[in-house]
Structure 1
């Protein structure tokens, strides 16, 4: 991001946990004056538009179901940050069509920085054992062995096949509260999903829970580190140093945890406040999984 030319950016997910933190990095970037950023804002968040405008950001009202809007905005962009609704194939295809139009109009290939997730690596161990398989984002042949039925995979493959200079970032379990100016202004969700979801499931169960024996191991990353990764990838993409397409997968992780250890902390805290029966986590049951509020625990 060292060019003195104005770069037009279309940005989705600005009010989200990841998106708002990445957007903060862009607004605080030393070359922010060289950006013209347009945010996709859902109708339910339209009360936030005037505040975004006061920060020098443009907005367009719409959602990932408004395919014409996605295509049109992508057709005007040098860079698209896609950080919302990562499993929406139709939305991804609309953005890709817009980027094709941009290329046809300018002769310059725009960049797509798309958000996927390490759930694409999930197996069927059901918490009974860890895996010996270590995935490497420098090994595209290995990544291509992932089945199309894996979470996020259909969208990832569509983007790779189109390869409009696409860079796919795969956050792992993100932790810590987001502490940004957008949080302070009430524009951004400050919390992650996975760990709060596990806590909520424990509250509903009346006991800290885990999947199976909790032997499943997940990578993790701090919210600030994953936001930095987006900017590092973007900067290196603009300078031609970042690989894209089938070689353009970037895992966001800087550690790992066993789910038993995390579930045990949840169980202890629930017990301490009188909302759990035991200091030890117990396996989730079919009844727990079938509660609509527990969607997504794994």
Structure 2
């Protein structure tokens, strides 16, 4: 089962459809929209029309699956529990340990810098003690702990993927058909806020640092983890099964400078220099100052499996104009 209509989910599903062994897969995608379900059927994907709040349905579908790739809400603890109940039932029924690839995010690593400073704290996905030191109040943390605890019980092997700032316009048949969203969330949120205020903005002074990863390279990491998990049950999982999706890092001011320049060039911003969002604007557009946090990491486990991302922050910044132009066109 795979959750497919989103930016990450669609990219991963496209990767599965293009997989050399795709003819051996039987994929069921969970979607909320019946029209999208019909379109998915045309490309050989089975579908279940439901939402993450349909807990009994999630459990039922998971109980019929050998592999779950969950790419939807990283903070929906009830949905995660429902999926894990189904996977336990699968194990009890078959005696085989199913695979659960869960999507979290490097938001779990964030601090309260509010854009005023960077940090020397860099998390490594090969350091479980460091990850376990994260507070339960951190974003995604409670669900991540639930997933790891299930692995410890032995009825499922779990792998947690933590994408960072994902960028780029996703491509493939699923996006051409309008089934999946081709654009990211984090960057467009900042661009839309800047468009609304008529000037490129940044939280605080934008001194904070985040990692980034290109969307197709992020999808490749999921495939590499899946292939490794299928071929070798000793592939790090559970407590050792965190996989950061990050290929480079950037300072938020520099990103804001990039989209502020584009907005200015297109007559949508007063200056090519970003200005600080006021406290009221930060609350209005982002629900707080999380975009001013630091989130730094080293993606060591994925690379040990053979993941070789090549895109850099330069590629990220070069992609900004396409996002700005697409958002303006939508408006």
Provide the TM-score with structure 2 as the length reference: 0.84
Q: Does 2:250 correspond to 1:262?
A: no
- Partner of 2:162, secondary structure, is strand
Kept after mapping to 1: 8 A contact 2:203/2:282: no
Write the distance in 2 (CA, Å) between the matches of 1:238 and 1:26: 14
Write the distance in 1 (CA, Å) between the matches of 2:68 and 2:228: 15
Q: Does 2:117 correspond to 1:129?
A: yes
Write the distance in 1 (CA, Å) between the matches of 2:221 and 2:84: 22
- Partner of 2:59, secondary structure, is helix
Unpaired runs of 5+ residues, structure 1, are 1-9
Write the distance in 2 (CA, Å) between the matches of 1:217 and 1:290: 21
- Partner of 1:150, secondary structure, is coil
Kept after mapping to 2: 8 A contact 1:221/1:253: yes
Write the distance in 2 (CA, Å) between the matches of 1:201 and 1:242: 42
Pairwise CA distance, 1:295: 4.2
Write the distance in 2 (CA, Å) between the matches of 1:166 and 1:35: 20
Q: Which residue of 1 aligns with 2:327?
A: none
Kept after mapping to 2: 8 A contact 1:178/1:190: yes
Q: Which moved more, 1:199-208 or 1:269-278?
A: 269-278
Write the distance in 2 (CA, Å) between the matches of 1:226 and 1:280: 31
Write the distance in 2 (CA, Å) between the matches of 1:272 and 1:203: 13
Write the distance in 2 (CA, Å) between the matches of 1:266 and 1:34: 44
Residue deviations 1:228-266, cap 9 Å, x none?
000000111112242111100000011111100010112
Write the distance in 2 (CA, Å) between the matches of 1:21 and 1:275: 31
Write the distance in 1 (CA, Å) between the matches of 2:75 and 2:173: 28
Q: Which moved more, 1:119-128 or 1:204-213?
A: 204-213
Kept after mapping to 2: 8 A contact 1:200/1:294: no
Q: Which residue of 2 aligns with 1:102?
A: 90
Q: 1:144 aligns with which of 132, 140, 143?
A: 132
Q: Which residue of 1 aligns with 2:22?
A: 32
Q: Which residue of 2 aligns with 1:20?
A: 10
Q: 1:276 aligns with which of 259, 269, 294?
A: 269
Residue deviations 1:159-198, cap 9 Å, x none?
1111120000000000110011111111110000011111
Pairwise CA distance, 1:272: 2.0
Pairwise CA distance, 1:48: 1.7
Kept after mapping to 2: 8 A contact 1:26/1:32: yes
Within-5 A mapping of 1:26-65: 26-42=16-32, 45-65=33-53
Kept after mapping to 1: 8 A contact 2:161/2:222: yes
Q: 2:163 aligns with which of 164, 167, 171?
A: 171
Q: Which residue of 1 aligns with 2:2?
A: 11
- Partner of 1:36, secondary structure, is coil
